Amino acid sequence: MAWQRPRMTCVLRPMVVAVLLLLLATAPSYAQCDALAALNLQVVQLSQAGRHAEALALGRSALAVAEQQLGSDHANLACPLNALATAYQVQRQYAEAEPLFKRALSITENALGPDHRNVGTTLNNLGLLYAEQGRHIEAEPLYMRSLAVLEKALDPDHPEVGNTLYNLARLYGAQGRSAEAEPLFKRALMINVKVLGPNHVLVASTLFGFAEFHRAQGRYAAAEPLFKRSVAIVERVLGPSHPEVAKILDKLAEVYRAQGRSAAAEIFSKRSLAIRQKAPDVSGSQAKETCHVYSLGPGNDHVTMDGWLFTIIMEEATKPVVIGCRPRAPSVRAADGTPGIVSCDNLERSSVIAAGKRNPEVFVGDPNFIYEIKLKEPGDSTTIRVCGR
- Whether residue 248 is contained in a domain is answered as yes
Residues 85 and 204 placed together within one structural domain of the fold: yes
Three-class DSSP labels, 112-154: HCCCCHHHHHHHHHHHHHHHHCCCHHHHHHHHHHHHHHHHHHC
Per-residue burial over 171-208, b = 16 or more CB atoms within 10 Å of its CB, e = otherwise: bbbeeeebeebbebbebbbebbbebbeeebbbbbbbbb
Give yes or no for a contact between 178 and 217, defined as CB atoms under 8 angstroms apart. yes
pLDDT of 252 strictly over 70: yes
> What's the average model confidence in pLDDT over 54-62?
84
The residue from 245, 278, 311 where one domain ends is 278
- Whether residue 2 is contained in a domain is answered as no
- Whether residue 310 is contained in a domain is answered as yes
- Whether residue 102 is contained in a domain is answered as yes
- Whether residue 16 is contained in a domain is answered as no
User: Could you tell me the pLDDT band of residue 284, with boundaries at 50, 70 and 90?
Assistant: very low
The residue from 228, 244, 278 where one domain ends is 278
Pairs from 28-31 (Cβ < 8 Å, separation ≥ 24) = 28/82, 28/86, 29/121, 29/159, 29/160, 29/163, 31/117, 31/118, 31/121
Q: Which residue has the higher pLDDT, 223 or 58?
A: 223
Residues 274 and 151 placed together within one structural domain of the fold: yes
* Domain around 171: 21-278
Residues 137 and 245 placed together within one structural domain of the fold: yes
Output the domain CATH number for residue 230. 1.25.40.10
Residues 328 and 196 placed together within one structural domain of the fold: no
Residues 160 and 216 placed together within one structural domain of the fold: yes
Q: Tens digit of pLDDT for each residue in 260-275?
A: 999 998 999 888 888 8
- Whether residue 108 is contained in a domain is answered as yes
pLDDT of res. 369: 62
Residues 48 and 126 placed together within one structural domain of the fold: yes
User: Could you tell me the pLDDT band of residue 338, with boundaries at 50, 70 and 90?
Assistant: very low
Residues 171 and 251 placed together within one structural domain of the fold: yes
pLDDT of 17 strictly over 60: no
Residues 133 and 32 placed together within one structural domain of the fold: yes
Helix (H, G, I), strand (E, B) or coil at 91: coil
Residues 297 and 219 placed together within one structural domain of the fold: no
Residues 225 and 320 placed together within one structural domain of the fold: no
The residue from 244, 278, 312 where one domain ends is 278
pLDDT of res. 127: 94
- Whether residue 5 is contained in a domain is answered as no
Q: Tens digit of pLDDT for each residue in 60-86?
A: 888 888 888 888 888 888 888 988 898
- Whether residue 109 is contained in a domain is answered as yes
**pTM score of the predicted model:** 0.65
* Structural domains in the chain (count): 2
Distance CA 71, CA 129 (A): 26
Output the domain CATH number for residue 337. 2.60.120
CB-based contacts of 387, cutoff 8 Å, min separation 6: 289, 290, 291, 292, 310, 311, 313, 360
Residues 315 and 264 placed together within one structural domain of the fold: no
The mean predicted confidence, pLDDT, of the chain is 77
Residues 157 and 79 placed together within one structural domain of the fold: yes
